């Protein structure tokens, strides 16, 4: 059968990876917080989507000031999530279902409750004195420089024990590790070995471009963005000295060496910032660094347009030595895409077309839990907010809590089947009508459309590994051809126009294999007109393709 997936490519290339935010996936203990046993219970649901892997957001020991991204023990499971034995069972169950497991590694900072920090702050001569970023005050007692933290305020906190400031790019309770220190790198690589030995298949490196700073502690220059256009002082600086240093790729090469020792594994960098593309390419260049990277091109976009998609994708043309991109429209750090980009009355169709679009992009695809159900952003009243960023910036930003609310499993169950207790974040009442059980037997549901489209992508090399060539189309539309070894898939979408008319030359040589309504059971001719939030994939008439 022509066009079937290429077995010579590594499993991760072109993969679809499903993100689980453990706190909100499924609770089995009744404490209102999702847990590892809940993930195990939900793995058949994830496997039914046809995805290649599952990525787990942090489940490590943590005081939860930043909900797990403040790690107090890199090699421990926080009791609210379960035990290491639960994690081992999760790995075994996932592998038995054909799923790879990727876990977060948060290496730019720790919790201030980590043993490393406790020892580092004891004195300037302790064995771990230089494991974090410490600096003396200026002569007037003020912080060493002007660096600003992501969550607001200076990046420096005074510590009376050492009579110094320590650096924190995020919360005060998240001191930055000093990755310029090779002992720190060695310790983190030991952490990597710990999890690889337990069977994990790869890592997502959280905020990895925050991992090193300019050792001269020079001030950051201003960005030129006026205060009235930002929500925090952090955005008023160019972070040329507080992050994104040229020494990071050398550390990533050490990480890749550890991954290679463990077999066919996968690594992906989360890259944040104004110059993200350059860093993504530096972090993934050649065969000695990370496998892939993604940024916030789509995650923070307030609107979607053909020009935005084209601009983002054309930055990854496949030049020699260039890494492999990954893409996400939604995750735990950004309001859900369907709520950012579509009016409420259009959200079902938009959610389905966005899946059709995302699954056609050249690169890896990250699906965020609930995206397969078409969940919109949840409304979380101020009194129930947990996200420190949302609380600090209220009401100027939507914050992250609305994308982190629990998954609805059963429409008529207590808390939509997520928990028998009070959920840590309230479920949005509107989500119950999109619960997994209601969508299971509905062929037109977002859940079943997701299954059809993922399986179709999985079986077609052009969609997993092929090149991407953009085609000139009518205004408001987007079109490109994915191609490998002479087999092509034509991908066409109406993103902005109320209705658009366009057909390619020799249109009669193509037949539709998928639309936002799912995989076509039998190919049909190309439409000449597309409504907004609709699209299709098509193959040439003489090509066979995997059925739905």
CATH number of the domain residue 504 falls in: 2.60.40.1180
Q: What is the C-alpha to C-alpha distance for residues 430 and 376, in angstroms, rounded to an integer?
A: 9
* 349 and 486 both lie in a single domain: no
| Beta carbons of 483 and 467 less than 8 angstroms apart | yes
* 366 and 276 both lie in a single domain: yes
pLDDT at 93: 98
pLDDT at 526: 96
Tell the residue number behind the tokens 């320590």, with chain if given. Answer: 166
* 320 and 415 both lie in a single domain: yes
Q: What is the pLDDT of residues 477-486, one digit of tens each?
A: 999 999 998 8
**Per the structure, how many domains does the chain have?**
2
- Using 50, 70 and 90 to split pLDDT, how confident is the model at 504? very high
Which of 454, 476, 494 terminates a domain? The answer is 454
Residue 481 designated active-site: no
Which of 454, 479, 496 terminates a domain? The answer is 454
Q: Within a domain: residue 287?
A: yes
- Please tell me which residue in 112, 201, 258, 270 is annotated as part of the active site: 270
- Using 50, 70 and 90 to split pLDDT, how confident is the model at 70? very high
* 196 and 276 both lie in a single domain: yes
- Using 50, 70 and 90 to split pLDDT, how confident is the model at 3? very low
CATH code of the domain in which 380 resides: 3.20.20.80
pLDDT, average across residues 209-222: 98
Q: What is the pLDDT of residues 408-433, one digit of tens each?
A: 999 999 999 999 999 999 999 999 99
Per the structure block, which two tokens stand in for 168?
Answer: 């924190």
pLDDT at 7 over 70: no
pTM summary value = 0.96
- Using 50, 70 and 90 to split pLDDT, how confident is the model at 6? low
Residue 206 designated active-site: yes
Q: Within a domain: residue 450?
A: yes
Q: What is the pLDDT of residues 372-414, one digit of tens each?
A: 999 999 999 999 999 888 888 787 776 799 999 999 999 999 9
Domain ranges, residue 340? 16-108+180-454
Q: What is the C-alpha to C-alpha distance for residues 506 and 51, in angstroms, rounded to an integer?
A: 34
pLDDT at 5: 44
Average pLDDT, the chain: 95
Q: Within a domain: residue 321?
A: yes
- Using 50, 70 and 90 to split pLDDT, how confident is the model at 360? very high
Q: Within a domain: residue 10?
A: no
Q: What are the start-end ranges of the E strands in 254-392?
A: 266-270, 292-294, 324-328, 364-368
Per the structure block, which two tokens stand in for 274?
Answer: 């104004």
Q: Within a domain: residue 167?
A: no
* 357 and 436 both lie in a single domain: yes
* 219 and 341 both lie in a single domain: yes
Which of 428, 454, 480 terminates a domain? The answer is 454
pLDDT at 546 over 60: no
- Using 50, 70 and 90 to split pLDDT, how confident is the model at 521? confident
pLDDT at 149: 97
Q: Please, what's the b/e burial string for 209-225 (b: 16 or more CB within 10 A of its CB; e: otherwise)?
A: bbbbbbeebeebeeeee
pLDDT at 227: 85
pLDDT, average across residues 335-362: 97
* 294 and 384 both lie in a single domain: yes
| Beta carbons of 53 and 12 less than 8 angstroms apart | yes
* 282 and 347 both lie in a single domain: yes
* 327 and 209 both lie in a single domain: yes
Q: What is the pLDDT of residues 247-280, one digit of tens each?
A: 999 999 999 999 999 999 999 999 998 789 999 9
* 475 and 341 both lie in a single domain: no
pLDDT at 4: 41
* 354 and 392 both lie in a single domain: yes
pLDDT at 127 over 70: yes
* 505 and 432 both lie in a single domain: no
Q: Within a domain: residue 143?
A: no
Q: Within a domain: residue 162?
A: no
pLDDT at 281: 96
- Using 50, 70 and 90 to split pLDDT, how confident is the model at 507? very high
Q: Within a domain: residue 195?
A: yes
pLDDT, average across residues 130-153: 97
Q: What is the C-alpha to C-alpha distance for residues 488 and 509, in angstroms, rounded to an integer?
A: 12
- Please tell me which residue in 206, 258, 333, 372 is annotated as part of the active site: 206
């Amino acid at each position: 059968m022509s066009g079937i997936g290429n077995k010579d490519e590594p499993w991760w290339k072109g993969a679809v990876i499903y993100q689980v935010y453990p706190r909100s996936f499924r609770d089995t203990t009744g404490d209102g917080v999702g847990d590892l046993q809940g993930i195990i219970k939900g793995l058949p649901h994830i496997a039914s989507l046809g995805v290649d892997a599952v990525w787990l957001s942090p489940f490590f020991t943590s005081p939860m000031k930043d909900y797990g991204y403040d790690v107090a023990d890199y090699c421990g499971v926080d009791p609210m999530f379960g035990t290491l034995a639960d994690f081992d069972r999760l790995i075994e169950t996932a592998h038995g279902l054909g799923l790879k497991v990727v876990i977060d590694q948060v290496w730019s900072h720790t919790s201030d409750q980590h043993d490393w920090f406790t020892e580092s702050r004891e004195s300037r001569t302790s064995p771990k004195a230089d494991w974090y970023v410490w600096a003396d005050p200026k002569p007037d007692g003020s912080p060493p420089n002007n660096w600003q933290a992501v969550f607001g305020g200076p990046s420096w906190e005074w510590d009376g024990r050492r009579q110094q400031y320590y650096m924190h790019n995020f919360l005060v309770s998240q001191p930055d590790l000093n990755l310029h220190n090779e002992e720190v790198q060695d310790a983190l690589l030991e952490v990597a070995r710990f999890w690889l030995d337990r069977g994990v298949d790869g890592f997502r490196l959280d905020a990895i471009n925050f991992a090193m700073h300019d050792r001269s502690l020079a001030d950051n220059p201003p960005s030129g963005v006026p205060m009235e256009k930002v929500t925090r002082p952090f955005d008023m600086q160019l972070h040329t000295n507080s992050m994104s240093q040229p020494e990071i790729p050398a550390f990533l090469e050490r990480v890749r060496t550890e991954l290679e020792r463990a077999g066919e594994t996968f690594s992906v960098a989360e890259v944040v910032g104004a110059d993200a593309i350059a860093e993504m390419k530096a972090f993934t260049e050649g065969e000695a660094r990370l496998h892939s990277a993604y940024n916030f091109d789509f995650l923070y976009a307030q609107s979607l347009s053909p020009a935005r998609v084209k601009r983002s994708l054309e930055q990854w043309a496949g030049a020699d030595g260039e890494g492999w991109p990954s893409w996400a429209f939604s995750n735990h750090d950004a309001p859900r895409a369907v709520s950012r980009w579509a009016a409420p009355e259009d959200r079902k169709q938009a959610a389905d077309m966005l899946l059709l679009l995302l699954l056609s992009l050249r690169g890896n695809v990250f699906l965020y839990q609930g995206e397969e159900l078409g969940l919109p952003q949840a409304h979380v009243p101020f009194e129930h907010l947990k996200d420190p960023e949302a609380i600090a910036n209220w009401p100027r930003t939507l914050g992250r809590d609305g994308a982190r609310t629990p998954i609805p499993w059963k429409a008529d169950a207590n808390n939509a089947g997520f928990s028998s207790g009070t959920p840590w974040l309230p479920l949005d009442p509107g989500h119950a009508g999109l619960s997994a059980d209601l969508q299971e037997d509905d062929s037109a549901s977002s859940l079943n459309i997701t299954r059809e489209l993922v399986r179709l992508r999985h079986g077609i090399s052009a969609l997993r590994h092929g090149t991407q060539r953009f085609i000139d189309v009518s205004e408001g539309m987007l079109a490109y051809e994915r191609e490998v070894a002479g087999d092509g898939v034509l991908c066409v979408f109406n993103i902005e126009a109320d209705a658009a008319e366009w057909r390619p030359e020799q249109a009669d040589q193509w037949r539709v294999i998928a639309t936002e309504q799912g995989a076509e059971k039998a190919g049909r001719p190309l439409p000449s007109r597309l409504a907004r939030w609709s699209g299709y994939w098509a193959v040439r008439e003489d090509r066979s393709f995997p059925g739905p």
